[in-house]
């Protein structure tokens, strides 16, 4: 799928991986709807990008705001063709500890945002894409979800986060099979350690040490590299039903 003149939705698009993806899609000629809870950052990004960029306030866990964002992207000529979901939260707590069992509400919230929120964006974007006219290859759209290498290499204290991202990995193939007859692809990116707001609070020395633990390149990933892969997924019609690790060959240790 070519990117120029296509309509794209980026959920969680006001910062981090989502912001980089929105910028890259826009630079490549796509019209972009930025959906995020952070109104200030989202509106500022849309204003900076200018023409072909729009912000819609949306909580990925709630159907109506996400549908409004999907509908805004689907208004473009040709309909919504590209959906990228980068919305997510972290959370660190052991299954049990001296303080007692894992807080069930924390586990529930991480699952709601990272897994259920991702599926909420996916199901509504797929519904809109199913109405599109197919292109010359029979394709109607592509959905890119965001997991994490924690889905495979979850560390101590990551039980909730790893479970949520493992769920995103697990739904990728069946969702792609669900949508195959309609010409909509579903692919997931599993990033490793990336220089995003989730790591921004760490001291520089600790951030550098994390990067040095990556085989090659021995640094934190850059959001632009995630955005590049998201665009390449959109452009390559044979990428479907797959989860792609983007981690510099990193395999996380237990702690």
Has 161 been annotated as catalytic?
Answer: yes
> Can you tell me the distance from the alpha carbon of 200 to that of 12, in angstroms, rounded to the nearest whole number?
17
Q: Which of the following is catalytic: 161, 162, 176, 186?
A: 161
**Encoding tokens for residue 123?**
């199901």
Q: What is the CA radius of gyration of the chain?
A: 18
Q: Which residues have CB under 8 Å from 118's CB, separation 6+?
A: 60, 85, 87, 88, 145, 146, 168
Q: Are 67 and 45 in contact (CB under 8 A)?
A: no
> Can you tell me the distance from the alpha carbon of 218 to that of 40, in angstroms, rounded to the nearest whole number?
34
Q: Are 129 and 172 in contact (CB under 8 A)?
A: no
What is the enclosing helix (H) or strand (E) of 223?
helix 223-235
> Can you tell me the distance from the alpha carbon of 211 to that of 62, in angstroms, rounded to the nearest whole number?
35
What is the enclosing helix (H) or strand (E) of 209?
helix 204-212
For the sheet with 53-57, list strands across it: 53-57, 31-36, 7-11, 80-85, 141-146, 184-191, 243-246
**Percent helix / strand / coil, the chain, rounded to 5:** 45, 20, 35
Which residues are tagged catalytic?
161
């Amino acid at each position: 799928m070519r990117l120029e003149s296509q309509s794209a939705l980026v959920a969680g698009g006001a910062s981090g991986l989502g912001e980089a993806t929105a910028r890259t899609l826009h630079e490549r000629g796509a019209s972009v709807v930025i959906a995020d809870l952070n109104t200030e950052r989202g509106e500022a990004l849309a204003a900076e990008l200018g023409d072909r960029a729009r912000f819609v306030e949306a909580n990925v866990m709630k159907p109506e705001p996400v549908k409004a964002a999907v509908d805004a992207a689907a208004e473009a000529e040709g309909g919504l063709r590209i959906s990228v979901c980068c919305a997510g939260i972290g959370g660190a707590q052991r299954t049990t500890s001296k303080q007692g069992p894992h807080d069930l509400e924390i586990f529930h919230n991480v699952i709601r945002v990272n897994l259920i929120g991702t599926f909420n964006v996916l199901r509504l974007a797929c519904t809109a894409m199913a109405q599109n006219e197919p292109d010359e290859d029979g394709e109607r759209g592509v959905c890119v979800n965001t997991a994490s290498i924690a889905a495979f290499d979850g560390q101590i204290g990551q039980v909730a986060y790893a479970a949520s991202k493992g769920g995103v990995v697990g739904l990728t193939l069946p969702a792609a099979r669900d949508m195959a007859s309609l010409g909509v692809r579903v692919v997931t990116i599993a990033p490793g350690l990336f220089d995003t707001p989730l790591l921004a609070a760490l001291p520089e020395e600790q951030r550098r040490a994390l990067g040095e633990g990556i085989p090659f390149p021995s640094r934190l990933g850059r959001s632009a590299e995630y955005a590049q892969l998201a665009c390449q997924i959109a452009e390559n019609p044979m990428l479907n039903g797959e989860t792609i690790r983007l981690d510099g060959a990193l395999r996380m240790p237990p702690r």
